[in-house]
Chain A
């Protein structure tokens, strides 16, 4: 090689190394961004009934002995089936104060899950969460993120669920609890929740076959001490 060729060669190598370095840099920045944006943020607004120690879930009957945790995504079809099989029974137990229920609305299915979970949290503040919970499943679209749920349609849904308060409407409009959904998701990741619906009774995962088997579910609750 002549000297000139050698010099060009060295320059090319340097340029290539710079380009490789840039790609590696972007990758590391991306990883850092993902890690930071998926962490729990203790500064976000949370509904009054949410407990950080319960994984940022929405809590009912905080003094009842039998503890039930439900992880769900309002856009998940199996959650809708679970709701249609056992929703009335579980809501009855909550109304009778027999279980300490913690709802964890997850949002991994996408943007409309975030909107729905945030809107449901708004109705929790006016005591209408269980109604909104049922209304969301009744109104679930067959296709995910298809434009069914927007803040406008969710406000109407809240009204049909019996929550026509101005506070709820402005809470939905302002996306007050949007960032709270990230905390719920981060906690579900820590607790190894890999599918929805997932129910824990006193910290133990429900038998997979009992999600769509009301008699089996009732037996599990009885075994846990629900009379």
Chain B
């Protein structure tokens, strides 16, 4: 079996993985906005007012990108957004770890400060790195099974709707 035969299926699996993660993460945060705001503030990176807005807005963007990935629409842009977001989380969690903050990443709801010894930084970073790589793969190979995007047969990765 050649890569070109398997690739559309890998792309489908990647879309569903990243899409479902984004949709779920967004939904759980949109459900408890105060906690989502708290989670962003606890990273101590953004000014408080911007962190509060970010906590309210981010879940909706996550849900939007997740939905587009699952149905296979504007896959390159959604994957770029999702992958960049995961990379941002890796950076944010790493700096929290390096500075000795004790917080929950708040990725799927929850968040804020936790007791020392209850942090899960390594797992969170590895998970988000994996999702970043998924995003990179989808950006490079957006053409997959059961997607709404259309691709010209002469192009191996182009997305007509985005030209």
Say which residue of B32, B38, B74 sits within 8 Å of A189 (CB atoms).
B38
Which of B9-17, B51-59, B85-93, B132-140 lies on the face that meets chain A? B51-59
Kindly state the interface size class of chain A when it binds its partner. Answer: 20 to 34
Say how far A4's CB is from chain B's closest CB, in angstroms: 16
- Cβ of A195 within 8 Å of any chain B Cβ, yes or no, is yes
Most buried by A among B38, B61, B63, B73: B38
- Cβ of A88 within 8 Å of any chain B Cβ, yes or no, is no
Say how far B31's CB is from chain A's closest CB, in angstroms: 9
- Cβ of A35 within 8 Å of any chain B Cβ, yes or no, is yes
Alpha-carbon distance A192/B149, docked complex (angstroms): 43
Interface SS of B by simple majority = helix
Which residues of chain B are within 8 angstroms of A38 by Cβ–Cβ distance? 33-34, 37, 56
Interface SS of A by simple majority = helix
Is the Cβ of A189 less than 8 Å from the Cβ of B52? yes
Is the Cβ of A108 less than 8 Å from the Cβ of B35? yes
- Cβ of A27 within 8 Å of any chain B Cβ, yes or no, is yes
A sample of 11 more A-B contacts (CB under 8 A), given A19-B148, A27-B60, is: A9-B160, A12-B150, A16-B74, A27-B63, A27-B64, A30-B30, A35-B57, A37-B33, A38-B34, A106-B34, A108-B38
Question: Contact residues of A with B, CB < 8 Å?
Answer: 9, 12-13, 16-17, 19-20, 23-24, 26-28, 30-31, 34-35, 37-38, 106-110, 185, 188-190, 192-195
Q: List 27 A-B contacts (CB under 8 A).
A: A9-B150, A13-B160, A16-B149, A16-B150, A20-B68, A20-B73, A23-B73, A24-B64, A26-B60, A31-B57, A34-B30, A35-B57, A38-B33, A38-B56, A109-B35, A188-B34, A189-B34, A189-B41, A189-B48, A189-B52, A190-B49, A192-B41, A192-B48, A194-B38, A194-B41, A194-B103, A194-B112
